[in-house]
Amino acid sequence: MNDSRPADVAAQRCSEADDLLRQNKPVEALKALDQALEADRDCARAIIGITMIAERLTVTKYSKHFDRLILHCLQSPHGNPEALTNPAGHLLQLKYGLPDSQSRLTNSVRTESGLEGLRKDGLLITYLVTTINRNLTLESFLQSVRTEIWHRFTQGRLSGEWQGLIAALAVQAHNNEYIWDISESEREWLDATAEQLERLEGEITEATATLFLVFAMYRDPWELSKLRQRLRERSADRWSPALRFAVDRTIGKRARQIQLVPSIPRLSAAENPTSGSVRQMYEANPYPRWLHVTPALRQVDASYRLIAQYPHLGPLPKSEGPMQILMPGIGTGRLAVWAAQRYHHVQITAVDLSIQSLAYGKYMAESYGISNIDFRQGDLLTLEGQYERIECIGVLHHLENPEAGFERLVSCLKQGGVIQIMLYAEAARRDIWRLRTRLGLSHTNMSFDEIRRIRARILRDDGDLTAFNGLARRPDFHSTSGFRDLILHVQESTFTINRLRRMIEAADMRFIGFEFASSQVMSMFGESEAEQRYRKAYPDERTLSSLSNWEAIEASHPNLFGNYTFWCQRP
């Protein structure tokens, strides 16, 4: 008789999967994790493991079983929809037989039964509401579905049963910040409908609910201030679940974020002029647009991984209370929430120029029940205080003088304290600079419409900017704030290892090492190409921390770094 508890069986299968991964057998590991879920549907380890493997496997054939597995992971609180975006998008592409190019609605889907299928597709609906789609074929397909729904609506052929799919498309549009292209006739209808919605009086009927949802598949209903007010005053009790969900995601959530603005203290009014234009950009487009952080299985000491990864690190500062971590340029707070969930006994100060970004972060932190992050508005150039650790990711290259920003941050570190920085690598930004030159971009603010049009010129086969469509492989290409941050930034500079070295030396800091793994997960899949090259070229320098060695490697392999993420220590 087998009397093992389901949780024990699941744990056993997970351990087998770990072994199989170490032997580089991801398909077999996936099977073991699948069995773990059969024993225990909520096994967090199995869900995290499946997500990790699915992120790296290329599926070539659609299977119902894999569909159910991915759906389960997308819906689980332990799931990570961001990591599942590519595999789930690819699976949907296979499911609907979409070719590997920009596709249009195929004939089989155009039929009533085809569209019926979409309406009831749990994976599709969940995918739309939990991710920001990055699959261009799917984007094109979904645009066609949207147009078909719009046609049916304008011809009076759409019943209330469609609201679920329409609401999911509206939430996807909200997630990607309305970046999908719109035809001229759709635009005209939207302009007229915006006026109609603003004039609406009385209770929300099924017909007005559908009108709202169809509009929200294309345009941000937040723009309609009178409607927004009216919806917030009305009781949602009698609305359909689809309408309630879409209104909450597109209007309610944003309203709750804005309410948090007055509670965020301002550090100092002084602001450098470049910081002023950078702030304006991020006030209009808080970045990054993140929807979810996978909860940690358990909390660890914040120094633990650092010491394991860089054994040559000098002694770290000792503190009585929680470790004080400063995160300047935190944006919408994703990395602070990630750290607060994972690190034991820390207090995080999260600073940014943009109050709207901070409000997004504070809202998300509260929704995860996190209370050890202090969100503060201010310019990092005016920061003071003494911290044990500073993490500053993707920020300094947006300063007029990044080196001055680095020095300022270093002055806020205790002796022995560590700082993590991420900066753009020159080689990885060349295509973007070429595109900017081609567009003749000056430091102007671009409207949403212009952004959509430029993106469509890059994507269309006959577009004049098709040569740049490799940019679509970058996740930021698929949301408006991401696109602006990636391509249309008002202030950015790039680095080489040589410039890094000079900056670090001038600030009297000790370089500890580059960080190649974007998460702990990556390290299970072996060392990066850069690390392997270093070890081969300099087998005796085992700390991988000589910047002149790295400079030599980069000279012969200029595209090795997508960006530079590294740690330094204050001696």
Ligand X SMILES: C[S@@+](CC[C@H](N)C(=O)[O-])C[C@H]1O[C@@H](n2cnc3c(N)ncnc32)[C@H](O)[C@@H]1O
Distances (CA, A) of 567 to 39, 130, 312, 525, 570: 42, 33, 12, 22, 10
Interacting residue with ligand X among 129, 204, 242, 393 (CB under 6 A) = 393
Nearest to 418 by CA among 516, 544, 307: 307
Nearer to ligand X, 146 or 376 (CB): 376
Distance, CA of 472 to CA of 137 (rounded, Å): 12
* Count of residues near ligand X by CB under 6 A: 26
Q: Note the maximum CA span of the chain.
A: 77
Interacting residue with ligand X among 127, 153, 245, 287 (CB under 6 A) = 287
Nearest distance from residue 425's CB to ligand X, in Å?
15
Exposure class string for 48-63: b at 16+ Cβ within 10 A, else e: bbbbbbbbeeeeeeee
Nearer to ligand X, 28 or 515 (CB): 515
Nearest distance from residue 301's CB to ligand X, in Å?
23
Q: Which stretch binds ligand X (CB under 6 A): 202-210, 215-223, 346-354, 411-419?
A: 346-354
Distance, CA of 366 to CA of 503 (rounded, Å): 37
Site for ligand X in 369-388 (CB under 6 A): 379-381
Nearer to ligand X, 45 or 334 (CB): 334
By the rule CB under 6 A, 85 interacts with ligand X: no
Distance, CA of 36 to CA of 30 (rounded, Å): 10
Identify the H or E element spanning 29. helix 26-39
Contact 266, 377 (CB under 8 A): yes
Nearest distance from residue 391's CB to ligand X, in Å?
8
Interacting residue with ligand X among 353, 410, 471, 503 (CB under 6 A) = 353
Distance, CA of 58 to CA of 35 (rounded, Å): 21
Distance, CA of 65 to CA of 83 (rounded, Å): 19
Nearest distance from residue 194's CB to ligand X, in Å?
30
Site for ligand X in 216-275 (CB under 6 A): 275
Nearer to ligand X, 82 or 379 (CB): 379
Whether omega for the bond prior to residue 295 falls within 30 degrees of 0, making it cis, is no
Q: Which stretch binds ligand X (CB under 6 A): 152-160, 279-287, 367-375, 473-481?
A: 279-287
Interacting residue with ligand X among 79, 317, 394, 417 (CB under 6 A) = 394
Nearest distance from residue 293's CB to ligand X, in Å?
11
Nearer to ligand X, 206 or 283 (CB): 283
Distance, CA of 199 to CA of 208 (rounded, Å): 12
The pair phi, psi for residue 454, each rounded to 5°, is: -60, -45
Contact 330, 343 (CB under 8 A): no
Nearer to ligand X, 330 or 412 (CB): 330
Nearer to ligand X, 352 or 388 (CB): 352
Nearest distance from residue 411's CB to ligand X, in Å?
15
Build a one-symbol-per-residue string for 288-317: x at contacts with ligand X by CB under 6 A, - elsewhere: x-----------------------------
Nearer to ligand X, 164 or 328 (CB): 328
Nearest to 408 by CA among 279, 561, 270, 563: 270
Interacting residue with ligand X among 328, 361, 402, 417 (CB under 6 A) = 328
Question: How many other C-beta atoms are found inside a 10 Å radius of the C-beta of residue 512?
Answer: 22
- In DSSP notation, 21-76 reads HHTT-HHHHHHHHHHHHHH-TT-HHHHHHHHHHHHH----S--HHHHHHHHHHHHS
Distance, CA of 56 to CA of 34 (rounded, Å): 16
Nearest distance from residue 418's CB to ligand X, in Å?
17
Q: Which stretch binds ligand X (CB under 6 A): 99-107, 116-124, 247-255, 390-398?
A: 390-398
Distances (CA, A) of 196 to 91, 186, 251, 431: 39, 15, 18, 43
Distance, CA of 76 to CA of 70 (rounded, Å): 10
Residue nearest to ligand X (CB): 331
Build a one-symbol-per-residue string for 396-435: x at contacts with ligand X by CB under 6 A, - elsewhere: --xx------------------------------------
Residues contributing to the site for ligand X (CB under 6 A): 275, 278-279, 282, 287-288, 328-331, 334-335, 351-354, 357, 379-381, 393-395, 398-399, 485
